[in-house]
Amino acid sequence: MSACVRIRHDHTAHSSPPSRASGIKRPHSPPPPRRGGRFRIAGADLSASITVFLIAVPMSLGLAVAMDAPLEAGLISAAIGGIVAGLLGGTPLQVSGPSAGLTVVTAELIQIYGWRTTCAITIGAGLLQILLGSLRAARGALAVSPAIVHGTLAGIGVAIALAQLHIVLGSSPRSSAAANALALPQQLGRLSPAAPLIGALTIAVLVVWPRLPGRIGRAVRRLPAALASVAIATAVAAVAAPGIARVDLPSWRSHALPELPQGPVLALATAVFTVLLVASLESLLAAVAVDKLTADRAAGRTADSASPVPVAPVAPPVRRSDLDRELRGQGIANVLSGLLGGLPVSGGAVRSSANVRAGATSRAATVLHGVWVLLAAGLLVTALEWIPLAALAALVMVVGFQMVNYAHIRNVHRHREFLVYGATITGVVLFGVLEGVAIGIAVAVAVALHRLARTRITVTDQGDQHLVVVRGQLTFLAVPRLSRALGQLPRGGDAVVELDGFFMDHAAYETIQDWSDAQTAQGGRVVFTGRSGGRIAEPASAAHSCCRPWTPWRNHHCHDQPGRPGDARRTTAAFAPGESFTADQGPTGSVGAEADAPAADATAGPTGRLDTPGDGAAVPRRTGAHRLASGLSSFQRNTAPLVRDELARLAREGQRPSQLFITCADSRLVTSMITASGPGDLFTVRNVGNLVPPPGAEAGDDSVGAAIEYAVDVLKVESITVCGHSGCGAMQALMSTKPDTPRTSLWRWLRHGLPSLERMTSRHHAWARISGRLPADEVEQLCLTNVVQQLDHLRAHESVARRLAEGALQLHGMYFHVGEAQAYLLAEGASAGSGVDEVFDRVGSCDPNHSRPYDITGLSDPTGLTELGDHATVSAPATAAGPADPPGSGELERTSA
């Protein structure tokens, strides 16, 4: 079992238990974080900042050219985005700068209002970003359909590419994407060769540079492709085309600052909102992408060899983004950029991915990149003015084409949202960004309503009954057709209703419920099934209404109704947690404390079964048999087809479990569910109290030792886990044991837990604790201590000690809190027997990237995932005082070599 849990190795602060006399238990908490530390710069951050700087300078100048803005404005926004957003943002590795997504919008604003008013609009958008970030609205922005977001960015990319193509061809772009497309034929008729050739050279180097082969290729690929293409194009233009149009950086003394906006208020508000929308979405999407790239890098998955950025070795993971803080940081950067005469700022996917892949580990890389851009703006003006405009235009044109991402197209097509994606692109290209987003939202709503209302209802006469098939979602929109179809059926007749959908609203449910009640009242029989034919529900009566078609997995018994023997009014038939008391090891028949409390109208009979009062004892036994048969039937119908191939492979090859899992027989512990395991994964030993008798215990307790010896010496398991749980009845019974307790089977078994009780009361051992809180009571304290003590018993077994000395076996302690559905793992040192603190750390919900050879996620009935078939189980000895096991169940299975 791999789990994402923090293990603390520093035990000096809590090496001794608190005083027993005080009655106070000290909580176990991690040391406080260091404060007031200096801003540290790692070597990886320094090299990554230089890599991103070499990409950002030509990109910033190119975007300024594309927006028809002052060229120094691109450098200003790159420096502010790197320094300000890098320091204040919530995504440490995200690199911000001039927004590629706002290229078309900013160009249009400059044409309509002029440069100084555009700066004021940028300030207004930044202030709104700060407000939205303070209101914690960042997550809400991600609620927009990905098809609309990616369609918007793709439409902007198409508009960018069309505009920059004119500059590459030696002309100037038109006012809109449509005008640029219409003017292309005329532009191709009067070409000047210099600019197109330089642009073509730039694109060729961008494409070829990351794919240069051999040792020389690996060496030169350390230089970013963007910088290499612009540098080569500049050198060639200096020799072959000295008269080509180049970058012209004006004097900083003529730099324009913002002015108060002038124009219609509604138009200015629309402009501010457009800048806010595009810049925020671009930044938040880039932040999510950076999180994924960082997680991939931490997991050891490097980028492909064709990447234009050198791939760094695996780095430690960085914390996930704080999107609200990121939005506030972007807002502050936009306010400062507008005040200083810079372009709108947003997080950039190209720069950020380059930063991650270059090995950056903290926000120092982002900030340093901004510092280098600031220095270049003051010291490298002469060198920058040699760059041809055609080279920058070609660079930005490639960026525009990259915004039309084939992977995004494939994803939206897979999810049947290509219509929304295409409508958004068309709207952005033809009408503008805000209009395109509005069109995309309208189409998305229309598609959703169409899917919601698209319900097909067919009625088939099968002679003795009618089959009603409902495909699609049942909402109030489908109620008229549903009522008409159901009304055509003969009253009092038998019917099977097959529901093939995942949603049913109240109106549709009431329609089906009223019709079903009327049919049943007139002598008819109605059965509800899913697409696979399995019964999912039947109508509930007024007196007993716990069953619903959408009822989740729960421990209820809708079939226990008087007058309905054998008619299973139950949503699902398989066993749920708490329904099956499993005792695979040790004495089983005498421990009722571990099982869930029986129903109010039942008592425990002498055989261990639940018998009803009076002379109706046969009925519960028939009900239990029916529930067992129903569970087996559910397994054969739902689960068996999905795991049959895997079980057949295990039958051929023999079992090779990697873990021995020792846990309690409590019915609430479904080990396959807790550990996300399947057939062949766990060799499971279950007994009352998850006890491991030490070697040399009396005869009759050898079943656990035999299982340990078989798992370690024959199956060669790699780890052994002892799992305790909250509310353990065995631990409660152990604490309440008195000298005059009858010497029953239960007492003889629980005496193996006496060392745990002695350990808890001893002053020579640290108390077992849960990280973040104290044990709730003495019972929980004993449950935790018992896990640690049983690990000590394990280490005393000869086979375990030998494999531990060889380094081929690991021991783990685990505690499962039933009420919280939360697992805790014992600290590594304590599990190995070398730690001082016995601390159980909370297991988080992060994905350990654990791959499985089979997939059972498609089950329509979650209760089909019982423990049947999930574990290799060693059953109890035949002498246990409980229901007899099937013949041969006490024998060890023979495994292949």
What is the arithmetic mean of pLDDT over 294-298? 74
Write the pLDDT tens digit of every residue in 600-611.
333 333 333 323
CA–CA separation, 402 and 410 (whole Å): 15
Q: Above 80 in pLDDT, residue 331?
A: yes
**Share of residues in the chain with pLDDT > 90 (%):** 20
Closest CA to 178 of 428, 395, 419: 428
**What are the two backbone dihedrals, phi and then psi, of residue 586, each rounded to the nearest 5 degrees?**
75, 180
Q: What is the DSSP letter of 813?
A: E
Q: Which has more confidence, 363 or 37?
A: 363
Write the pLDDT tens digit of every residue in 82-125.
999 999 999 999 999 998 888 888 988 998 999 999 999 999 99
Write the pLDDT tens digit of every residue in 683-724.
999 999 999 998 876 645 788 989 999 999 999 999 999 999
- Residue indicated by tokens 């975007």: 63
Residue 193 exposed, middle or buried by CB count within 10 Å (0-12, 13-18, 19+):
exposed
CA–centroid distance for 436 within its chain? 30
Write the pLDDT tens digit of every residue in 808-851.
999 999 999 998 889 999 887 776 666 656 788 888 765 444 44
> What is the pLDDT at residue 339?
93
CA–CA separation, 794 and 695 (whole Å): 9
Least confident of 13-27, 141-155, 216-230, 741-755: 13-27
Q: Looking at 649-776, which runs of residues are DSSP E strands?
A: 659-664, 682-687, 719-725, 768-770
Structure tokens at 526: 């109605």
CA–CA separation, 602 and 613 (whole Å): 7
- Residue indicated by tokens 């008013």: 117
**Share of residues in the chain with pLDDT > 70 (%):** 74
Q: Are 637 and 581 in contact (CB under 8 A)?
A: no
Q: What is the DSSP letter of 253?
A: G
Write the pLDDT tens digit of every residue in 579-632.
455 555 443 333 333 333 333 333 333 333 323 333 333 334 445 567 788 778
Which band of pLDDT confidence, cut at 50, 70 and 90, is reported for residue 318?
A: low
Judged by DSSP in three states, 474 sits in strand
Closest CA to 322 of 358, 290, 275, 369: 290
CA–CA separation, 434 and 425 (whole Å): 12
CA–centroid distance for 365 within its chain? 27
Judged by DSSP in three states, 815 sits in strand
Q: How many CB atoms lie within 10 A of CB 662?
A: 27
Write the pLDDT tens digit of every residue in 401-458.
888 888 888 888 888 889 999 999 999 888 877 788 889 989 988 888 887 777 888 8
What is the arithmetic mean of pLDDT over 290-309? 58
Between helix 146-168 and helix 389-402 the angle, nearest 10°, is: 160
Least confident of 395-404, 615-624, 654-663, 873-882: 873-882
Average of per-residue pLDDT values in the chain: 75
Q: Which has more confidence, 853 or 639?
A: 639
> What is the pLDDT at residue 616?
37
Could you tell me which residues come within 8 angstroms of residue 595 by beta carbon, excluding any fewer than 6 positions away? Answer: 581, 666, 667
Q: Looking at 118-216, which runs of residues are DSSP E strands?
A: none
Sign of the four-CA dihedral 199, 204, 207, 212: negative
The partner residues of 526 in beta bridges, in order of sequence, read 495
> What is the pLDDT at residue 590?
32
Residue 301 exposed, middle or buried by CB count within 10 Å (0-12, 13-18, 19+):
exposed
Look up the pTM and report it: 0.49
Least confident of 129-143, 384-398, 701-715, 763-777: 763-777
Helix (H) or strand (E) holding 872: strand 871-873
Give the helix ranges, DSSP H, for 90-145: 103-113, 115-134, 138-141
> Which of 107-121, 143-157, 303-317, 573-587 has maximum average pLDDT?
107-121
CA–CA separation, 863 and 208 (whole Å): 55
What are the residue numbers of the active site?
664, 666, 668, 725, 728
Q: Which has more confidence, 770 or 831?
A: 770
The partner residues of 97 in beta bridges, in order of sequence, read 346
Q: Above 50 in pLDDT, residue 861?
A: no
Residue 760 exposed, middle or buried by CB count within 10 Å (0-12, 13-18, 19+):
buried
Q: Are 841 and 824 in contact (CB under 8 A)?
A: yes
Which band of pLDDT confidence, cut at 50, 70 and 90, is reported for residue 57?
A: confident
What is the arithmetic mean of pLDDT over 517-545? 65
CA–CA separation, 199 and 336 (whole Å): 34
Q: Which has more confidence, 776 or 614?
A: 776
> Which of 38-52, 141-155, 243-257, 713-727 has maximum average pLDDT?
713-727
Q: Are 117 and 315 in contact (CB under 8 A)?
A: no
Sign of the four-CA dihedral 276, 279, 285, 287: negative
CA–CA separation, 823 and 13 (whole Å): 25
Q: Please report the DSSP string for 704-756 in residue order.
A: HHHHHHIIIIIS--SEEEEEEETT-HHHHHHHT--TT----HHHHHHGGGHHH
Which band of pLDDT confidence, cut at 50, 70 and 90, is reported for residue 381?
A: confident
CA–CA separation, 34 and 56 (whole Å): 34
Write the pLDDT tens digit of every residue in 533-579.
555 544 434 333 444 443 333 443 444 444 433 333 333 334 445 54
Write the pLDDT tens digit of every residue in 207-253.
998 888 888 888 888 888 888 888 999 999 988 888 888 887 776 66
